[in-house]
Amino acid sequence: MVNELVCDALLFDLDGVLIDSSACIVRNWRVWAEPYGIDVAEIMKVAHGVRSVETIRQVAPHLDAEAEAARLAALEMTNADSVVAMPGAHALLAVLPADAWTIVTSGGADLAKARLRAVGLPIPTTMVTADDVTRGKPAPEPYLLAATRLGVSPDRCLVVEDAPAGIQAGRTAGIRVLGISSTHTRAALLEQSVTALVDRLAELAVDNSGADSRLRLWW
């Protein structure tokens, strides 16, 4: 059986969708947390898919979240190349028109660009990062901004996400969401009412050869 979704633009999350930086994310949070005696396991329960400043506000409300997020960002830049591209990421992006996709990440712009360069993936000019929004995922602002920058109505976009916070952001923005169960279980993503769900990015194929130039994703 072949499943298909049709859209005008794809809005990709970065970590867990196009790249795998899980090992260095945990390592950086552990280094940050150690001086404060914070259990990194507790951080990882709430950190995935949201901005660092919001995670810090949650796990250490007594600290200056902005200052600590800046310290963590500097730490992350020291090993921004410790990432790998998700299987299928290069092939998928290679066939997409430049004006029909972008990246929406909870990380900062410099870090996102460094990680994309490290794995040889293209950097979209319309990318939305933590630096561009006042309220990150699970708020809808990042995905609404991405749709606006591409000039595509939200209801004609498709979000590709691996984290519950990102799925919530996409759905609240009125955008359909394709879940990738790379970092969370299928059950956890289905609880967020994703439009469709696949296990791996590499399962996806894209065709934009139709007369209407719309993107057709199938798996």
Q: How far is CA 162 from the centre of its chain?
A: 7
Of 15, 39, 131, 132, the catalytic one is 15
Residue 13 annotated in active site: yes
Comparing CA positions, the residue from 48, 167, 185, 20 lying closest to residue 106 is: 48
Closest CA to 90 of 161, 179, 19: 19
Q: How far apart are CA 65 and CA 212, in angstroms?
A: 47
How much of the chain is helix, strand and coil, in % rounded to 5? Answer: 45, 15, 40
15 part of the active site? yes
Q: Residue 25 contacts by C-beta under 8 Å, 6 or more apart in sequence?
A: 15, 47
Q: Note whether 207 and 216 are within 8 A (CB).
A: yes
Active-site choice (13, 81, 110, 132) = 13
User: Active-site positions?
Assistant: 13, 15
